[in-house]
Structure 1
Amino acid sequence: MAGFLRGPLPPSSRLALIGASAAILSLGALAAWRWRRRALRRRRREMQRVGVVSDIVIYPVKSCRGLRLDEAEVTPLGLRKGDLRDRFWLVIKEDGHMVTARQEPRLVLISVNSRNGHLILNAPEMKELAIPVKTSGKNPVKNCRVFGLDIEGRDCGDEVAHWITTFLNSESYRLVHFETQMAPRKCELINTPFRPIDEVPYSDAGPLLVISEASMEDLNTRLEKKLDLRNFRPSITVSGCSAFEEDTWNKIIIGDVEMKLIMQCGRCILTTVDPDNGIIDRKEPLETLKRYRMCDPAERHIHKTAPLFGSYFGVDKTGTVRVGDPVYKIIEC
């Protein structure tokens, strides 16, 4: 063996040795490049604390009273707490068209909760009603119309339909339930800034609406009659930041949840419904907001004449959010 090593290598062996050396160097360079790339990615993803979650609210039946929570699961379709999921129930006309507090302001007086596998409804001067969360498969599936888009919902039965119709003293209305095997509405068909992955059941536009306490305080300094965030129905309220700062958070992390800012929320006359008495004003806070919260002219095709208050976020990573959780803004360096 020693004599062989002292002798000259044949040309084919020299070429093989050179090729092997080059391959080793290439692998080493590739590994070093990957390590540097991962390190750069880690450095580029910095987080800055911007506030604290001060309130979490779920709205199981669209336009009905919200339910305040200490914590909630964030799913791709919005908030969830046990049997309750955000805007998974909808009041409709007999022809399937949605009914909201825009048409029936007293819907905001109906409170919603769950108990022992039942959806619990309460309203002034009405007897409490309990209906199964899981609607019988024998009940028909209705074709519903929500802001111009078709979506299914399983009819919840005659008893709750009569209860809602009696309370509202209205034409015949039905309650339907969105089931997870049904196709949700694509948010990008509702408004162009949304991504293909953003979907909702009966929500207006997006899975999550975030508003800061400071934004509400700023608005109240301009209003003769003070309001609160019940008029604006946010999913998550944040304290400890400046007014309208939520409009600038491109990506945020709360607990183990990651969310992406999609667009600001254009407000409608539903914000003028008094949550305490169900009377619609049709003026405030919209008139005041229009004086200082209109969109940039370049975005008028998105928001039209609606003033802006609160921001819609899509869900990039699911998990749990809790009151008291710090809110971090992701900074790309």
Structure 2
Amino acid sequence: MAGSAGLSPRGWPLLPRFAWFCAVATAAGLALGAAAAAWGRRRTRGELVRVGSVSELFIYPIKSCRGVPVQRAEVTRLGLRKGDLRDRCWTVIKEDGRMLSAKQEPRLVLVSVTCEAGHLTLSAPGMKTLSIPVELPRTNSICSCRRFGVEGEGRDCGDEAAQWITTFLNSEPYRLVHYETDMKTRKPVDFLPVFLPTDEVAYAEGSPILLISEASLEDLNARLEKKIKINNFRPNIVVTGCAPYEEDAWVELLIGQVKLGGHMCCPRCIFTKVHPDTGIMDKKEPLKTLKSYRKCDPSEQHDFKNEPPFGYLYGVDRTGVIQVGDPVYKIIH
């Protein structure tokens, strides 16, 4: 019958019927979105004020070695993660278990890390690449790892990895160890009382998340004769769209469903003087300039000593996924 192609078995015109279904689906989607947003607001229990957007994310798999930029990352209790790459879950240690930093061995920053098919690959100038399994043999020994007098644990990555690191640094014998999820973590509160007992790290200095704004770096660079990169300060999250040092006042943040609890500005040490591309430590900058104008609150003097604040340290109050471009909200109570 002529014209019958446009009718359903019930006699409804197909186009209006399709539009009706789309309208219902759209309304349902909007309702679910509104409910989710309301749930998020209830969970944060405070007013949300947008302060910027995420512009960069970095994971530093091996403590003091080169960072890996990522577009998207899972925020865990111990810091950022993408697949097998977890922030500062490998570290170089001395034979007595003390963790090594680029403060003692600046050339550590030249070691690059990639991960594929369950293997961590290390590369450095003048060295053949080294591949080690993420899942180490259970027969490998578990070492005690110590930083600031606080102990954690790590599984030894084997003699080949130890020889590779020792050869590259051309110094005393070192070993590479890996934190596994059932191992003992370190509690920042044991040496920084502003942190909570629930905050924990594997091998990071004192916090699972370090955040810095682009504006703060730009302000510092305006005072320096020789400009530096954000890599000098090794942030996990970089934020754009705010004023310089505005992050100093962001006590609680919401990025997606991730909630971060701020504890203190980051005291900056001589590590900031290590050039991330050469592994050479500058005699003065940028630390000299930072000290000239960045001062801690007098009540925090015993934590900062003579180290100027730059960037902000956070604990992870609620885990989730974040990505470059995400809006950043501060929570006002």
- TM-score range for the pair, normalised by the shorter chain length: 0.7 to 0.9
1:329 maps to amino acid: K
Pairing 1:106–2:146 present: no
Deviation at 1:50, TM superposition (A): 0.7
Residue 276 of structure 1: aligned partner: 277
* SS of equivalent residue, structure 1 residue 289: helix
* Aligned positions of 1:55-74 closer than 5 A: 55-74=56-75
Residue 288 of structure 2: aligned partner: 287
Residue 321 of structure 1: aligned partner: 322
Q: Are the equivalent residues in 1 in contact too, given 2:121–2:130 (CA < 8 A)? A: yes
Deviation at 1:43, TM superposition (A): 11
Residue 138 of structure 2: aligned partner: 137
* SS of equivalent residue, structure 1 residue 164: helix
Deviation at 1:250, TM superposition (A): 1.6
Deviation at 1:209, TM superposition (A): 0.2
CA, structure 1 residues 95+221, in 2 after alignment: closer, same or farther (shift >3 Å)? same
Deviation at 1:86, TM superposition (A): 0.6
Q: Are the equivalent residues in 2 in contact too, given 1:154–1:179 (CA < 8 A)? A: yes
Residue 52 of structure 1: aligned partner: 53
Deviation at 1:210, TM superposition (A): 0.3
CA, structure 1 residues 80+205, in 2 after alignment: closer, same or farther (shift >3 Å)? same
Instruction: Give structure 1 stretches of 5+ with no counterpart.
Output: 1-37
Pairing 1:232–2:233 present: yes
Q: Are the equivalent residues in 2 in contact too, given 1:294–1:305 (CA < 8 A)? A: no
Q: Are the equivalent residues in 1 in contact too, given 2:44–2:331 (CA < 8 A)? A: no
Residue 117 of structure 2: aligned partner: 116
Please give the alpha-carbon distance, in whole angstroms, between the structure 1 residues aligned to 2:57 and 2:284: 27
CA deviations 1:121-163 (Å, max 9, x no partner) are 0111111111000111100111121121111111000111111
Residue 83 of structure 1: aligned partner: 84
Q: Larger Rg: 1 or 2? A: 1
Q: Give the TM-score normalised by the residue count of structure 2.
A: 0.86
Residue 171 of structure 1: aligned partner: 172
* SS of equivalent residue, structure 1 residue 199: coil
Please give the alpha-carbon distance, in whole angstroms, between the structure 1 residues aligned to 2:204 and 2:124: 22
CA deviations 1:9-42 (Å, max 9, x no partner) are xxxxxxxxxxxxxxxxxxxxxxxxxxxxx9x979
Please give the alpha-carbon distance, in whole angstroms, between the structure 1 residues aligned to 2:303 and 2:94: 28
Q: Are the equivalent residues in 2 in contact too, given 1:109–1:276 (CA < 8 A)? A: yes
CA deviations 1:291-317 (Å, max 9, x no partner) are 111112221012111100000011111
2:124 maps to amino acid: A
Q: Are the equivalent residues in 2 in contact too, given 1:112–1:120 (CA < 8 A)? A: yes
CA deviations 1:244-286 (Å, max 9, x no partner) are 1111112111111011111110000000001111001141111
Q: Are the equivalent residues in 2 in contact too, given 1:151–1:183 (CA < 8 A)? A: yes
Runs of 4+ that moved beyond 6 A: 40-44
Q: Give the TM-score normalised by the residue count of structure 1.
A: 0.86
Deviation at 1:97, TM superposition (A): 1.2
Q: Are the equivalent residues in 2 in contact too, given 1:252–1:259 (CA < 8 A)? A: yes
Residue 11 of structure 1: aligned partner: none
CA, structure 1 residues 321+42, in 2 after alignment: closer, same or farther (shift >3 Å)? closer
Larger deviation: 266-275 or 280-289? 280-289
Pairing 1:260–2:257 present: no
Pairing 1:311–2:312 present: yes
CA, structure 1 residues 282+196, in 2 after alignment: closer, same or farther (shift >3 Å)? farther
2:286 maps to amino acid: P
Residue 31 of structure 1: aligned partner: none
Residue 200 of structure 1: aligned partner: 201
* Aligned positions of 1:8-27 closer than 5 A: none
Q: Are the equivalent residues in 2 in contact too, given 1:113–1:120 (CA < 8 A)? A: yes
Pairing 1:93–2:73 present: no
Residue 148 of structure 1: aligned partner: 149
* SS of equivalent residue, structure 1 residue 152: strand
Q: Are the equivalent residues in 2 in contact too, given 1:96–1:142 (CA < 8 A)? A: yes
